[in-house]
Amino acid sequence: MYQHLNVTEATDWRAAVQLADARFGGVDILVNNAAVYLGKAFEDAKLEEWQNMCAVNLGGVVLGIQAALPSLRRRAQTRPQGSAVINMSSVAGIVGSATDPLYSMTKGGITTFTKALAVDFGQRGYRIRVNSVHPGAVDTAMGRQTFASRARFLGVQDDDIGRRQAIAAHPIGRIGTVEDIARAIVYLASDDAGFVTGSSLVVDGGFTAR
């Protein structure tokens, strides 16, 4: 089912969770996937752009977990391995991004927030596993934004040069696909990951291995 959801609005989150409760009996899995990418040098970013990025990339995660937590806790009692929260971070949440330092700040925040919640929920006996996924460059609309940013960083106007540089930065020899990332999410959401919480699953074709 489709439910309109602006992740920066608590009322939208409550409506989405209420729909899940009414139609499907509750929330077993929450994937916080919404994000924006600015692609500007630190000194070029406007305050309102930074505030919007924080509202989506960080605030959306907080509001989503707050809204879904009662349902996740209740459903966790009926599931063999409990409920699951998967927060989408990035390789930019592990290593610095010269093309968008502010994006790195938000994704780094998600990385440590995920670990903190995993410990907190575990100690409270909530049976909610909390993990993060860290994609490298992926062939999506946002991924293409990063190619353009790479090109500008190199002082050229050809986005294909940015794409080729991104490919070269991944030892596996290609950029990622949405299926690559989706499979990682499915694993963390499944009972196969029943002993996995507070982890950062890196799906980056070797980008951070250098």
Residue 206 has a pLDDT of 96
Rounded distance, CA 111 to CA 143, Å? 20
Rounded distance, CA 189 to CA 201, Å? 12
Structural domains of the chain ordered from first start: 10-209 (3.40.50.720)
Rounded to 5 degrees, what are φ and ψ at 134? Answer: -125, 90
Question: Which tens digit of pLDDT belongs to each residue from 15-73?
Answer: 999 999 999 999 999 999 999 998 888 898 999 999 999 999 999 999 999 999 999 99
Place of tokens 């009662």: 70
Q: Give catalytic residue positions.
A: 103
Chain mean pLDDT for the chain: 94
Per the rule left: phi > 0, alpha: psi between -120 and 50, beta: everything else, 22 is: alpha
Rounded distance, CA 128 to CA 56, Å? 23
Place of tokens 């409920």: 83
Contacts of 44 (CB under 8 A, 6+ apart): none
4 burial class (0-12, 13-18, 19+ CB within 10 angstroms)?
Answer: exposed
Rounded to 5 degrees, what are φ and ψ at 176? Answer: -80, 165
**Tokens for 58?**
């960080």
Asked whether 185 and 199 are in contact (CB, 8 A), the reply is no
Residue 191 has a pLDDT of 96
Contacts of 52 (CB under 8 A, 6+ apart): 36
Question: Which tens digit of pLDDT belongs to each residue from 173-184?
Answer: 999 999 999 999
pLDDT at 155 exceeding the cut of 90: no
The rounded percent of the chain whose pLDDT value lies above 90 is: 79
For the entire predicted model, the pTM comes to: 0.93
pLDDT at 154 exceeding the cut of 80: no
**HSE value, Cβ hemisphere, 13 Å, CA-based, for 65:** 22
H or E element in which residue 130 lies: strand 128-135
Three-state SS for 175-194 is CECHHHHHHHHHHHHCHHHC
